[in-house]
Amino acid sequence: MAKYQHFDPRRMAELAHHYLTSMVDEKNGYLPYWLILPNQKPAEAAHCRVDDAELVGSWYEGLDSAMQVLDTEEGKEVLSGFEAFLRSSWGPMGLRYHKPYPWTHTMHASFHEMGYILPALNRILRKNPRDREMEERISGLVHGMRSLVIERKVRTFWSGDSPEEKPIYEFPNDVYLLEGGFDLTRHTGRGEQPIRNGVVIPALMARALEWGDEAALDLARGLANQLLGPSRYFNYKYAFFGHVHSAVWVAGGLADLADATGDPGYLKAAKGIYDYVRSLSSSFGWVPEYAQWHPLREEHCETCCLKDMLVMADKLTRHGYPEYWQDMLLFSRNQLAENQITSAAYVITDNSRPDTESTTWRDLDKRMIGGFTGGSLPNSISLSKFRSIAGCCAGTAPMAIQLIWDRAVTEEGNVTAVHIPLDRETDAWRLESDYPDRGEMRLTLKHGGQPAFRRYPFMGRHVECAVNGRAVPFREENGLILPPPLSPGDTAVLRHPLRTVRKKEIAAGQEYTVFWRGPDVVDMTPHGEHLRLYQRDLRKEKVLPRPEDVTYSGAANYGPTQQKR
């Protein structure tokens, strides 16, 4: 019997799938609800402009990711609804605008939002390469954005004029009006226009690398050069003041630019941005939403930032920095998993209220299960904070889950290597893991071959390997533990002693005592309010049923530090 809660990305994908297919407006083409207010009495969800802007893009990707992890077609009608939104509401300069709704005001497109729209379009085309309509839509968007940038060609200064050697592009503003185009008297008010507008770079690079789109490469390169140069957004160490989600998201595109251009400066910048944000983050994955905007004690962890950190860490492992596997391991098993809402026993619902055009109260306690927070502390999620559940994070988190699911085991040549212990089976192998109960994982190769296990510091020096129950020698090479090759159907086992280790750590400007068992945090003090995180020692508490087995009847009688998520 398990003593501790195990990392289960498949279960996380099931819950995310539930949220993305439940928190939608069926009468309005499955339009998502961004705004969730679980602390209201009764709880409610409401539409806002962003629902038909970035959300239809990120939720398309998020739901498709969850469906791929689960290998299911369930939810395809909702996915098709998101796609229908993405195929409509296109306008001047090839940009996507939202439809008019009672809750919208000025009709406009945001370049930041195109950073969500373009990757969703890329994913649709990737699934159906013969979709000419989608190809034309993507090409129109890329060329439309390219036509709207200012190109800085000459540097005019007191010392004279000099031509710019590299393309340098920037958008004149962060919004483009459906009727009127650029109006410099209007702006989003977010500030940081170079980095906010720059989040389209990763999707442009996917377009360039996968489809050979020269216009996309040119636009990405020009925006990146502006960001890394004249904008002065980053200092020489790639530290910055501002939005972490945007900065690390852009870093992923810079890493791809290094591949496309052969210029190592882009990879240096990408790694520098990641390392700077990593210096502000905790070992278990708490990442601040902003850098140097508030004191760290006032910051919260947006799950979108975690997705970006995991994507960027993966890119660094692929570029020859294997030490970043540890971040992928620890961030995914801990803060990413804890940021998902898995219980709503604290939510008060009122099913007697009929839905309106803009607001729903129906079954909010059930429908919110599987969502992700837009602002957690290291030890808790505050219900009173705006974005305690965030529509943006509900779309991006499943992409991170799919990344971990796909990259947990890699197959290169004859070597099958385990990097992230979890439970998964494919046609070629089966992986089983006992963390955090025991330090053991088992890899069965159905067709034989060379097994490998990534070595982590928490394993200590006393590592043992066995094949089919018999102890065997092993060698270590490039950070991997390699038992002897397996015959078809053989099972290799890696095991090591595992005990609970207590460590002090400063996270979000406060000292915590973190209780580790291998790669998993099983407890943390001081305990948090309202939704306490890291209640993973199953011997200390009653295990709550899964959400589909629960009949909710309003707020349960839980104390603020006792409530599970």
Question: What are the tens digits of pLDDT across the range 367-384?
Answer: 999 999 999 999 999 876
Judge whether 127 and 210 are in contact, CB under 8 Å.
no
Statement: residue 541 has pLDDT above 80: no
Rounded distance between C-alpha atoms, residue 9 and residue 331, angstroms: 13
Residues 6+ positions from 158 with CB-CB distance below 8 Å: none
CB atoms < 10 A from the CB of 104, how many?
A: 17
Query: Taking the domains of the chain in order of start, what are their residue ranges?
Result: 410-495
Region 401-409: what's the mean pLDDT?
A: 98
Q: Report the pLDDT averaged over residues 8-12.
A: 98
pLDDT band at 553 (very low <50, low <70, confident <90, very high): very low
What's the CA gap between 96 and 60, in Å, rounded? Answer: 15
The answer to whether 380 and 530 have CB atoms below 8 angstroms apart is yes
As given in the structure block, the two tokens for residue 378 are 């290291």
pLDDT in tens, 296-320: 999 999 999 999 999 999 999 999 9
Q: Which residue has the tokens 């910048």?
A: 269
Q: Where are the beta strands (DSSP E) in 312-392?
A: 359-360, 380-381
DSSP string, 440-505: EEEEEETT-BEEEEE--GGG-S--EEEETTEEE--EEETTEEE---B-TT-EEEEE----EEEEEE
Distances (CA, A) of 176 to 96, 111, 184, 203, 208: 10, 8, 10, 20, 24
Which of 188, 182, 227 is closest to 204 using CA atoms? 227
Per-residue pLDDT band for 388 (boundaries 50, 70, 90) equals confident
Q: Tell me the per-residue pLDDT of 414-423, one tens digit each, with 9 for 90 and over.
A: 999 999 999 9
pTM summary value = 0.94
pLDDT tens for 425-448 read 999 999 999 999 999 999 999 999
Per-residue pLDDT of 514-528, as tens digits, reads 999 999 999 999 999
Res 385: pLDDT? 67
Q: What is the mean pLDDT of residues 321-344?
A: 97
State the chain's mean pLDDT as an integer.
93
Question: What does DSSP say about strands 450-454 and 415-418: parallel, antiparallel, or unpaired?
Answer: parallel
Q: Is the pLDDT of residue 560 over 90?
A: no
Q: Which CATH architecture has domain 410-495?
A: Sandwich (2.60)
pLDDT digits (tens, 9 = 90+) for 262-309: 999 999 999 999 999 999 999 999 999 999 999 999 999 999 999 999
More confident residue, 449 or 563: 449
Q: What angle do CA 217, 221, 223 make, to 5 degrees?
A: 120
Instruction: Assess contact for 486 and 494: CB atoms under 8 A.
Output: no
